[in-house]
Structure 1
Amino acid sequence: MTHEDYWVVLSQGDQVLGGGFFVTRSYVLTSAARLRGLGCGAPVDVRTAEGVLLRAGVAEVADDVGLALIGVLPDPRVDYATPGADRAVKGDPWHAPFRPDITARFLSGTVDGVVHDRRDGDGRAVSVVELASAGPAVEYGDYAGGPVERRTTGAEPAVVGVVLDPERAVRLREGAEEPLAACAIDSAVGLFETLSAQSLLGMLGALPQEAEAERVPTVPPPVAVDHSLGTTRHVLREFKDMADEGLVDPAFVSPMQIRLMEWVVRTAQGEEAS
């Protein structure tokens, strides 16, 4: 497995919708524009970078920013990656590992800048990674929903954002001609109630009452509480307290919470933590 195996292709029936990527083993982040109006609960197929098909469904849509979250029913027999997260800095080289088909070129370039508190109309404020492409212009909408990695010498690649659809990118770049931008990963994670610490901890609260073979997997099936729950609550509170006191950059809190909760869920399900 390589570090690039976390991206996915989304489809419904025979129609390919676009790309996305795992933020945990149970959730995929993508562009709402790629879902073409599908609402919460709509079934979606997720095909991993290695070609494994997983059942999934739309879990939450952040229309104000143009992003969406897909809930996936994990297959314990399938090994796939979840990425490390970091924040971008102006001048960073970047690379987009998802491309819409094998004939399309990979997007890459440098970070023009990172701007905070950008809003689309009355939407929520997010941090935007402004991207400059190293190659000729393409139809950037086909890449929307895919991850943007920071590629700096001597450091492991890390996801810094999710590619926005061109219309949204232009508005959040305040009219810039280049329709290429990403929502910073910490802002993207923070948009979704499903990914909040409270919701993720709630996944550990009860066993399923009965099997529902045809249920649309808008959220992963819950698992039994294990002894790590109390410790996890304490650590999550510590993350927040450290950010409030200025000891930890708030931009790092959401990625840390996601990685911690990923470990808790996998441990509670009896999987080996990585």
Structure 2
Amino acid sequence: MAQEKGKTDPEVVFPAEVAGWKWDGKENHYNRKTIFDYINGAGELYIAYNFNGVRVRRYEKANQPPIIAEVYDMEASEDAYGVFSFERQDEEAGIGQGSEFGGGLLRFWKGKFFVSVFAEGQGKEAEAATLELGRAIAGSIRTTGPFPKLLNALPKTKGGLVEKNIRYLRSHILLNQRFFIANQNILNLNPKAEAVLGQYVQGRQKVHLLIIRYPSESEATAALQKFKKAYMPEAEAQNAIQTEDKKWTAAEQRKSFALIVFGAGSKADSEEWIRAAEERIGRH
């Protein structure tokens, strides 16, 4: 762990003071090797999204809880969005390109940065300062970045898409934490592949649509064959199968894309979901 005073990143500027909370003068830096010293057990999340490093500052005010600001430098804006999307659960807070605030924790992304700001204690004054600090950091990031293009593959015409439950993924471990498929990496997810998981709620029906883009068509073919053999062996040459819960799972390939639907109400319904996704990827 290194402590460096006064070091600045021209792309991100921390304020020296906000609402009476003053920076304590220290800045901690962690990289891919040392991140586990800072957040043991959660470092894998950032590593999975091509994490470069994080800067951490502490702000203090008499008789108030300290406020911690963390700025994670990711390889690209798509990765910053991915980290944000993975744990998103609260409503939009209007900071950066996407944000949420709940339980005293502010999370947002802008450009290739993911930012977390939180108070080590409760209180309305601390919450207000947390938001103000977040806005100041977001305002210093001059460059925005694109959302992952793969998000556009999720069909909107089917209705029921739960926006805050959209997950952009690069790791089967993270995928399993949001929607369990198998202990093994039967979809061959890796840092060069990208996936988007959409949840659709239509009455009592809950459908999950997983769309994966692989670096090549041959990799998509190999991954889908592996998935079908492990997850739906009874399907044989078919692309759809009824599972034990009487729902339907379907999996098909379109060029370098794998399209998989879980929880469809019928075989015909599962095919409709695949067609809807196919139409979307054909536009991008």
User: If the length of structure 2 is used for normalisation, what is the TM-score?
Assistant: 0.24
Identify the structure with bigger relative contact order (alpha carbons < 8 Å, sequence gap 6+).
1
Higher helix share: 2
